[in-house]
Structure 1
């Protein structure tokens, strides 16, 4: 049984309870961000994450008109393609809530045939939202929600890939993803690690083996998920279900915001 370093903001729940706890966490981040600067900037991943956000759909405290949504990574496919993270988030969340379409920042489908220009255009979309309002070298998201791959990847940042060392670009592209589809764009580690809050969301027995490796990862292994280390100490959270955390020993204290 793996014992993670302490303190670790890792919360484990029965699978049915995970979405409510995650929603409460998102709502707290939303409230603090809107009170501070009048908007809430969030980056979302695909995979199983969107369905974990289902508790937000009927929650009257969500200020959808204040949300500015980006994607932590995206597959270079049409917006209505089954592999599209935007399509997944739309079907599981956004089509059920009154968020203004202009507040959802997706890739430009006109540029699918030129991946370099596509990535540049998405970076410019980030610049429009952040550079005029914030003075940081990199955008500072209020919250980034990340998934965890069984190989330890997060976003489209894969073990052993050259993008792990990218230090300048906000948005990078790859044409050789080890998981299909091969063409993707992704936020880079500097962007991830400048976020005010990052929360990993991992559910299911398929994550049970990789989770302890990520939580206590030797530098030489360089699992991408373990390279997420926010510049704001104490602002990295893990929301997992009990099936995913079965190989992790930690004190299961009550979840409190």
Structure 2
């Protein structure tokens, strides 16, 4: 049991957000203890809205403080569009969270993609990988970057980041960041962290809510079927925690808990 992912189910998104905050605070403390900064990768979709609910809540004690000035925020995946485009994960995170952070909490350092080369998605991926190499150590001394925390979503097809079911990118073993030009979900051109990078995170959190997720959640947890989310579960094991509401896991036969 200890090697399995943790599946948490909450009665509503408010309760989920409160527990997610506690979980992120624990990850923040561990990251700062490790290397004085907190290295986080985030995805898009509905995740930034839930993150904002969790992170912008008023602290209840000195220990309950999000130290944004110590955060480094990277993108687990991004669309090859300008940063102010509605499809941009950066734009979404900025609108939902970054622009709303109170000044007294400080500002995180955020690393968006380089938009100088959007017409060449391989170059966008290469430049983002170079950024990670610069920030996580020289490539020859580190096989993979290790994020303190990855905050991910789960698509209705079981995709996460821009890793899609059955796609050849799931087999990539060496690169840290890869381009995708044929995303089954628009926009087609994107970059994504590779599966080995995602599964090497110190902590990996999925947020999945709503009854529309229950069929795919059943497949992920009961059958796997090589779905990207299931592959993250297999690779990350007990370092993976799912934050769901009860409607997303209705009928899923997997041990679940209501708290950490």
TM beyond 0.5: yes
How far did 1:36 drift? Answer: 2.4
Instruction: Choose which of 36, 43, 46 in structure 2 pairs with 1:45.
Output: 43
Question: TM-score, normalised on structure 1?
Answer: 0.90
1:18 lines up with 2:22 in the alignment: no
Query: Taking structure 1 as reference, are residues 111 and 7 closer, same or farther at Cα in structure 2, changes over 3 Å only?
Result: closer
| 1:1-257 equivalences in 2 (<5 Å) | 8-15=5-12, 16-53=14-51, 54-60=53-59, 61-97=65-101, 98=103, 99-100=106-107, 103-132=109-138, 135-218=141-224, 221-229=225-233, 233-250=237-254, 253-256=257-260
CA contact (8 A) 1:198 1:236 kept: yes
Gaps in structure 1 of 5+ consecutive residues: none
Question: What is the total number of aligned residue pairs between the two structures?
Answer: 250
Question: TM-score, normalised on structure 2?
Answer: 0.89
SS at match of 2:9: strand
Gaps in structure 2 of 5+ consecutive residues: 60-64
SS at match of 1:240: strand
SS at match of 1:160: coil
SS at match of 2:179: strand
SS at match of 2:129: helix
Q: Quick one: distance in 2 between partners of 1:180 and 1:144? A: 23
Q: 1:231-256 CA distances to partner (integer Å, 9 max, x unpaired)?
A: 66521111101110112245554413
Moved more, 225-234 or 167-176: 225-234
Q: Quick one: distance in 2 between partners of 1:118 and 1:126? A: 13
SS at match of 2:238: coil
CA contact (8 A) 2:218 2:253 kept: no
How far did 1:135 drift? Answer: 4.2
Q: Quick one: distance in 1 between partners of 2:187 and 2:115? A: 16
Q: Quick one: distance in 1 between partners of 2:159 and 2:72? A: 25
SS at match of 1:169: coil
Moved more, 241-250 or 183-192: 241-250
CA contact (8 A) 1:78 1:109 kept: yes
Between Structure 1 and Structure 2, the one with more helix by share is 2
